[in-house]
Chain A
Amino acid sequence: MSTIAEQPSAIRSYYEGLAKGVFRAITCKDCGGYTFPPTGCCEHCGSWDVTPVELSGDATLLLASHNISPACHPRFEKIAPYVYGHIRLKEGPIVQAIILGVDPTPQALRALFERGPVPVKAETLQMDDLPVLAYRIVG
């Protein structure tokens, strides 16, 4: 068995956090901007002086469509078609992710579109091999 310690990885840390319902990002000590999901560098100003932060999970769903079926990736075959949305996080970043709480039908998506932006809350969707980020419509 190897005794060599694993190096830190932002990607591994993100998914390990997601498995526990923690939504990890970084903030920049120079410009204050968020990078989500996290890397090792500020996506806004290029600074390497960043620090880990946990997001609230609160967000607003701006628009929602659905994916194609069968899914482009085998991981999502079982749940396709699924709703896929354009989201503004409370902390500011724009994210696109799977949306829970609405059917992937033209009728349901149209009703949602006509309703306008709605609050959503982040949660973890456990696929067979990976926890993934999703947002559920609240209220």
Chain B
Amino acid sequence: MIGKLRERIAISGVGCSRFGDLLETPELKGTTIQELTARAVKEALDDAGLTGQDVDAVFAGNAMVHSSQVPGTYSQLSKWTGTQFKAGVHFEAQCSTTNVGAALAAMAVAAGVYDTVLVYGLETTRTKVKDFSPYEREPISHQQTWLWTDMAVNQAYGVPQGYDIFSTYNGLVALGYCRKYGMSIEDFDRSMFELCKTRRLHGSMNPKANIQEKLEDRAKREGFSDPFDYWRSDEHNPFVAWPSRLLSLVTTADGASAMVITRADLAKGGKSPPVELKGFGISYSDLPWYGEDPTYWEFDRRAIDTAFEMAGIKPADIDYLHTHDCSHISGICTAEATGYLEPGKGLNAARDGRLRFDGDRPMSTHGGRHAFGHAWGASAGTDTYEAVLQMRGQAGPRQIKKPPEISVIHTHGYAMIGTVVVLGSI
């Protein structure tokens, strides 16, 4: 395997919708999935200074077709995005979808097949089509969401025999971390609290985030003078998989994201500077996702090493990191695997505020899967969107003081595809 891109590849435009609920969120209420997607695509195309007719191909990502009900997405969305008569495909890599799409687009461009590719992802994990209506939606129950989502997990043996994401992705990883590094359950709980505070802080500074209320403000609203008492309240923050609590998890959302991938020498004329897509790595695994040590995931190791090799970077080069944080403890383990955080010290870094936008190890400044929210096939694109904004100095109040020159974005596509993308300033 050569593991190199034969052309310099750029992201010349990015777009992202507000994340939330198509039935409740002010900026989203009443929006159809077609219009939701078009918003993200329009933002990305405008950003790149293009129209849908300027791209050569469209890679349309959507994972949970059960709720969106738009298979054949490329054609069904073509008249909403101005991309009629282009080459296209509907693809999915679950929660890595949009960044796998970026990698596929980079390969297509580097191979000389296309000059410019539009990648977008859309997902509705809070709402689904109501009856047979073309525009009305209704809520999805918790169980229905996971029943559909878990269709991406081992359907021969895992799911039929009681597989549960909350224990596999959270509780067991947390216990493995505590045992490996000698951390007490109390210290773990306090660290998870501090990490949630950071994610919520970032969400409070992001007008597109699903949750824009700080943890401290939520605690106060619920009548708690000490936010940590709120955190430890079984009523407000129960254990979902001991010792992991509800507020250390993903929040579901409806949303869309988009990006324009092109040859670096063509990335001109946009509203903002392009960013180079320097490398990527992809590796997948069926259950179990880890061996005896729940903090070490072989497919992540391979994806990280492949991406860093392609990009020619070392851990010390990383200025900004996003790791998939559906599970906060899993996200910390991955951050340690990248070398951005010291093994066994990631939770200390969280407690010390080092992962905040104004810390020395900024992570997930859009709010992460908890505060920004998670719309499966659209989310990886929001992580890239945030990294691009940070690198351009366009992240507003959550802007990292010195705009990152190298960003690494890691995502987990259920179940599991470790995907790592490395971005560099041009």
Contacts and interface: CB of A to CB of B under 8 A. Distances in A.
Are A and B genuine complex partners?
A: yes
Interface of A: 11, 14, 37, 39, 43, 62-68, 70-76, 82, 84-86, 88, 94-98, 104, 106, 109-110, 113, 130, 132-133
Given A72-B147, A84-B168, A86-B176, A110 B185 contact: yes
A95 B288 contact: yes
Contact of B291 (A65, A75, A94, A98): A94
The prevalent SS among residues of A at the interface is mixed
Nearest to A85: B172
B6 to A, nearest CB: 29
22 contacts: A63-B172, A65-B166, A65-B172, A65-B244, A66-B239, A66-B241, A67-B162, A68-B240, A70-B142, A71-B164, A73-B146, A73-B147, A75-B162, A76-B162, A84-B168, A84-B172, A95-B288, A96-B158, A96-B288, A97-B161, A97-B162, A110-B242
Interface string B177-205: 01100000100000000000000000000
Contacts of A104: 242
Contact of A86 (B161, B162, B172): B172
A72 B167 contact: no
Contacts of B159: 73
A84 B167 contact: yes
Given A65-B171, A74-B143, A96 B287 contact: yes
B243 to A, nearest CB: 7
Given A106-B239, A106-B243, A84 B162 contact: yes
B140 interface: no
A95 B160 CA distance: 14
Given A73-B143, A96-B167, A96-B287, 6 more contacts: A11-B156, A64-B172, A68-B240, A82-B162, A97-B162, A113-B179
A88 B292 contact: yes
Nearest to A37: B157
Given A14-B157, A84-B164, A84-B167, A68 B241 contact: yes
Can you list the 9 inter-chain pairs with the closest CB atoms, starting with the nearest?
A65-B171, A67-B164, A72-B146, A65-B167, A84-B167, A132-B161, A37-B157, A68-B166, A63-B175
B175 A113 contact: yes
Contacts of A73: 143, 146-147, 150, 159-160, 162
A130 B160 contact: yes
Nearest to A15: B160
B290 to A, nearest CB: 8
A52 B136 CA distance: 52
Interface centre among B150, B156, B174 (most CB of A within 10 A): B156
B224 interface: no
A120 to B, nearest CB: 15
A94 B288 CA distance: 7
A11 B154 CA distance: 12
Nearest to A82: B162
A70 B292 contact: no
B163 interface: yes
Contacts of A110: 185, 242-243
Interface in B226-257: 239-244
Nearest to B142: A70
B281 interface: no
B166 A67 contact: yes
Most buried by B among A72, A98, A104, A113: A72
A75 B167 contact: no
B229 to A, nearest CB: 17
A24 to B, nearest CB: 11
B143 A96 contact: no
A94 B298 CA distance: 14
A132 B164 CA distance: 14
A116 B303 CA distance: 32
Contacts of A85: 172
Nearest to B249: A68
Nearest to B156: A11
Contacts of B5: none
B413 interface: no
A17 to B, nearest CB: 12
B219 interface: no
Contacts of A70: 142-143
Contacts of B288: 86, 94-96
A75 B155 CA distance: 13
B165 interface: yes
Given A76-B162, A84-B168, A86-B172, A65 B241 contact: yes
B404 interface: no
